[in-house]
Amino acid sequence: MGNTRELTKDNFDSTVSSGVTLVDFWAEWCGPCRMMTPAIEELAAEYDGKATIAKVNVDNESDLAAKFNVSSIPTILIIKDGEVAQQFVGVTSKPDLAAAIESALG
């Protein structure tokens, strides 16, 4: 997973409580999720030290998925200081995600 961080119910709140975090809700069996992996990995490298890029496996963390009403994957949230700033559902372009991170970074 390179520079991405795996989030669980145990570390989710502490990870997203401050700063900007991209959270990718995904699953191993999800083809569109696998299509997103290279872009997510590239963003993790490009925003290292500026934003946290993280993944939540919905099969392992169904409570987190339910908390954010994730009914389709991939769902990607941009969270700033613990609050959802933007949400993307389905395959999303890397430039769109980068723009959302930049917007949240201000």
Q: Has residue 2 got a pLDDT over 80? A: no
What pLDDT is recorded for position 3?
85
State the catalytic residue, choosing from 33, 44, 65, 101: 33
Q: Which two tokens stand for residue 48?
A: 């290292």
Q: Has residue 1 got a pLDDT over 70? A: no
Residues forming beta bridges with residue 26, ordered by sequence position: 57
Q: Comparing C-alpha atoms, which of 18, 5, 2 is closest to residue 105?
A: 18
Cα–Cα distance for residue pair 42/10, rounded to 1 Å:
26
Q: Residues 70, 75, 78, 84: what is their CA dihedral angle, to the nearest 10 degrees? A: -20
What pLDDT is recorded for position 94?
98
Residues whose CB falls within 8 Å of the CB of residue 104, separated by 6 or more in sequence, listed in order: 20, 51, 78, 80, 85, 86
Q: Has residue 52 got a pLDDT over 70? A: yes
Spell out the domains of the chain, with CATH numbers in brackets: 5-105 (3.40.30.10)
Q: Tell me, yes or no, if 15 is annotated catalytic.
A: no
State the catalytic residue, choosing from 5, 19, 30, 37: 30
For range 85-90, the mean pLDDT: 97
Pair 64, 14: CB distance under 8 Å: no
Q: Comparing C-alpha atoms, which of 33, 4, 12 is closest to residue 84?
A: 12
pLDDT digits (tens, 9 = 90+) for 5-48: 999 999 999 999 999 999 999 999 999 999 999 999 999 999 99
Q: Tell me, yes or no, if 16 is annotated catalytic.
A: no
pLDDT digits (tens, 9 = 90+) for 53-80: 999 999 999 999 999 999 999 999 999 9
Q: What is the pTM of this model?
A: 0.96
